[in-house]
């Protein structure tokens, strides 16, 4: 996919060469100045006329008309050098590859050094390039009948840089791994629920484990009954599909300690149960397993890059259906932890399956917990569709998650859990906990409920209900699943101390 070359040969032939253009005076130097001379100063004239622009994300195409061995020059606007960030550069590359979609040639060259600044070195630029290429060119295949016409697309990128070749290659690999794993999560979330049941999700996890030599465990219903996973099993009661408790273990240290537990909500379809969703709200509920997809995507990155960390991933997988056997409002169930729960809303099912999954992650030795879930519509009301809601019981752990999210451009915002919130979750007159104490602060109630099962274990909750899908195409992908939190989780694990 990527080939790093130290210097661009004078006679190198390319269909297209991509060059970064900063907003500065004089506008051209280095390689760009050389190209301007080759083209008899015409690039400078185009710049003065406004046909070339350094405005951020603006892509200009210049045909060289046989004057050079490169047929086309693509100038990518980067804005002011002092204002360019890694996140912005990734989006710039995303816009570039969106622009190149549908070209009739399969190779492109990139002058990577023209995209660097004092803050963004070649390795950062290489990571951003590879990650953006994977993310921006992703398409869910879907199920329409396919044309016999072969699709043309970019298959090979030659990267020119004067920097260390091996370091640039390593950064391209990491960026590519991050992008591809995010796309894996996107595909899982985009898949219809009749084609991705709990068993299918478990099979996918087993394939991942075999590929990357993870330990794995798939608990069946009978084993869950013996372990007392009453909260998880209650959600599955109405389904004809068996539940699966999926466990993947990666040991990157000599001893199994300082274990990071990743817990992902795996509701493959959510009707709401007897607290049934309205007709508009039920469409799209195939995406209610985006938390599970995020965890599996992060495990893919872990498998590829092999960080020196210990990680256990726990995914409770089931659908939430309606039948004569389904659980009901007013039921009282007993979780694996022994805590009893009064069910007042069967559509608050995600926190029930996560309760037993969190307990089981601790059973596998998790010393730190991060759960990821499309948990509440309330987080969308509070934070919109571009920000993931977060809650925690541990400042130090949250700060590391926050830093990882900032690095990957997946913005999160912390919501509080107060003593009053804890009291509301504990206000059932007949059980230890109430699974849905009311609409007020709904997102916080979901987090406060999960905190009862994290107990003293350092824990961060990430509610991705608003960020797991998007209704609009963007620079780093199409409409549909976003794969949010795959890269944040992986970056957190890589940096964790």
Q: pLDDT, tens digit, for every residue of 265-296? A: 999 999 999 999 999 999 999 999 999 999 99
Q: pLDDT, tens digit, for every residue of 22-48? A: 998 778 877 788 878 888 888 888 888
Ordered structural domains, the chain, with CATH = 2-180 (3.40.220.10), 196-495 (3.40.630.10)
Q: Which helix (H) or strand (E) holds 298?
A: helix 290-305
Q: Are strands 70-79 and 215-219 parallel, antiparallel or unpaired?
A: unpaired
- Look at residue 474 and give its three-state secondary structure: strand
- Look at residue 333 and give its three-state secondary structure: strand
Is 194 exposed, middle or buried, given 0-12, 13-18 or 19+ CB atoms closer than 10 A? exposed
| Residue 351 is among the residues annotated as catalytic for this protein | yes
- Known binding site for Mn(2+): residues? 265, 270, 288, 347, 349
Which of 220, 140, 177, 154 lies closest to 14 in space, CA to CA? 154
Q: pLDDT, tens digit, for every residue of 444-472? A: 999 999 999 999 999 999 999 999 999 99
Is 239 exposed, middle or buried, given 0-12, 13-18 or 19+ CB atoms closer than 10 A? buried
Contact criterion met (CB below 8 Å) for 433 and 455: no
The active-site residue, picked from 186, 351, 362, 487, is 351
Q: How many residues are there in the chain?
A: 497
Alpha-carbon distance 270 to 337, whole Å? 24
Percent of the chain with pLDDT strictly greater than 90? 89
Residue 229's pLDDT band (cuts 50, 70, 90): very high
Q: pLDDT, tens digit, for every residue of 188-219? A: 999 999 999 999 999 999 999 999 999 999 99
- Known binding site: residues? 265, 270, 288, 347, 349
| Residue 277 is among the residues annotated as catalytic for this protein | yes
Encoding tokens for residue 489? 């989780």
Which of 129, 117, 115, 13 lies closest to 71 in space, CA to CA? 13
The active-site residue, picked from 71, 72, 277, 495, is 277
Q: What is the pLDDT of residue 175?
A: 98
């Amino acid at each position: 996919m990527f080939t790093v070359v130290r210097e661009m040969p004078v006679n190198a032939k390319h269909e297209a060469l991509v060059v970064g253009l900063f907003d500065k005076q004089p506008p051209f130097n280095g390689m760009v100045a050389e190209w301007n001379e080759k083209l008899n100063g015409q690039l400078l004239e185009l710049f003065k006329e406004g046909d070339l622009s350094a405005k951020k994300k603006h892509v200009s195409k210049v045909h060289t008309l046989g004057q050079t061995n490169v047929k086309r020059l693509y100038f990518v606007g980067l804005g002011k050098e002092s204002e360019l960030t890694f996140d912005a550069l990734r989006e710039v590359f995303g816009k570039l590859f969106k622009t190149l979609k549908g070209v009739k040639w399969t190779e492109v060259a990139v002058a990577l050094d023209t995209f660097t600044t004092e803050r963004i070195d070649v390795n950062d630029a290489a990571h951003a390039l590879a990650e953006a290429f994977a993310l921006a060119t992703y398409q869910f295949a879907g199920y329409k009948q396919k044309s016999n016409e072969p699709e043309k697309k970019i298959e090979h990128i030659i990267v020119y840089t004067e920097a260390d070749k091996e370091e640039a290659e390593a950064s391209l690999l990491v960026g590519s791994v991050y992008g591809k794993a995010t796309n894996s999560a996107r595909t899982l979330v985009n898949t219809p629920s009749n084609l991705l049941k709990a068993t299918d999700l478990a099979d996918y996890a087993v394939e991942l484990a075999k590929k990357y030599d993870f330990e794995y465990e798939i608990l069946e219903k009978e084993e869950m009954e013996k372990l007392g996973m009453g909260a998880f099993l209650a959600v599955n009661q109405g389904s004809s599909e068996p539940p699966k408790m999926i466990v993947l273990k990666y040991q990157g240290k000599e001893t199994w300690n300082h274990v990071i537990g990743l817990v992902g909500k795996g509701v493959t379809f959510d009707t709401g149960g007897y607290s049934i969703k309205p007709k508009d709200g039920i469409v799209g509920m195939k995406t209610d397993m985006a938390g599970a997809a995020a965890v599996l995507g992060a495990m893919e990155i872990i498998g590829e890059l092999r960080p020196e960390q210990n990680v256990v991933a726990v995914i409770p997988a089931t659908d939430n259906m309606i039948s004569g056997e389904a659980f009901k409002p007013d039921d009282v169930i007993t979780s694996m932890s022994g805590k009893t729960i009064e069910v007042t809303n069967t559509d608050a099912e995600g926190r029930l399956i996560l309760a037993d999954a969190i307990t089981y992650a601790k059973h596998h030795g998790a010393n730190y917990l991060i759960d990821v879930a499309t948990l509440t519509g309330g987080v969308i009301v509070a934070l919109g569709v571009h920000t993931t809601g977060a809650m925690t019981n541990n400042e130090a752990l949250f700060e590391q998650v926050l830093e990882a999210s900032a690095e990957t451009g997946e913005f999160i915002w912390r919501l509080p859990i107060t003593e009053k919130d804890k009291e509301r979750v504990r206000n059932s007159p007949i059980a230890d906990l109430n699974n849905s104490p009311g609409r007020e602060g709904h997102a916080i109630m979901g987090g406060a409920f999960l905190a009862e099962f994290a107990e003293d274990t350092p824990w961060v909750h990430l509610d991705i209900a608003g960020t797991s899908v998007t209704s609009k195409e963007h620079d780093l992908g199409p409409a549909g699943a976003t794969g949010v939190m795959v890269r944040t989780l992986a970056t957190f694990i890589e940096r964790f101390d």
